[in-house]
Amino acid sequence: METTLIILKPDAVQRGLMGKIITRFEEKGLAIVGMKMMTISQDLASTHYKDHQGKPFYDGLVGFMTSSPVVVMAVRGVGAITIARSMMGATFGSKADAGTIRGDFGVSNSFNLIHGSDSPVAAERELGLFFNDGEVQDLDRAIESWVYDMSSGDPE
């Protein structure tokens, strides 16, 4: 099992899409093991997006991410990072395939609704930025054997 950070960005919150997006992750079979609404501080946004410092879009991105509340989630499952990124779709809503979160709900090339960690290393770093110790739960779901084939003892 791996855990990834998902951020429902200010546009998703302001447009009232939180429930629809969260439902997609749950219906896919991924577990929400941490979740909170917050307003990201300038310092946290700068730290989170440090790899983009110096790029032309950096100031706008930090301004956007600090402009309104977001929902941050820790999402867990086998292959959760790859699955979540596939569910999100291409970065720009105008280019994202139908059936993806961005493809179904987005048209903007600036406001793209959702962030998801792009690797296990990034997920670990990002989860540590947004969640304190004890805020990401160990969740023993009764449905796990219906989400994954557990016949070998490990989820497939």
Residue 118: C-alpha distances to residues 20, 83, 143, 152 (Å) = 22, 11, 27, 29
Residue 81: enclosing H or E segment and its boundaries? helix 80-88
Separation between Cα atoms, residue 101 and residue 77, nearest integer Å: 18
Residue-range domain boundaries for the chain: 2-133
Spot the catalytic one: 115, 126, 130, 131: 115
Clarify whether 115 is annotated catalytic: yes
CATH class label, 2-133: alpha beta
CB-based contact 40:71 (threshold 8 Å) = no
* Tens place of pLDDT per residue across the chain (156 aa): 999 999 999 999 999 999 999 999 999 999 999 999 999 999 999 999 999 999 999 999 999 999 999 999 999 999 999 999 999 999 999 999 999 999 999 998 889 999 999 999 999 999 999 999 999 999 988 888 889 987 887 877
pTM (predicted TM-score):
0.93
Separation between Cα atoms, residue 110 and residue 123, nearest integer Å: 23
Q: How many other C-beta atoms can be found within 10 angstroms of the C-beta atom of residue 104? A: 17
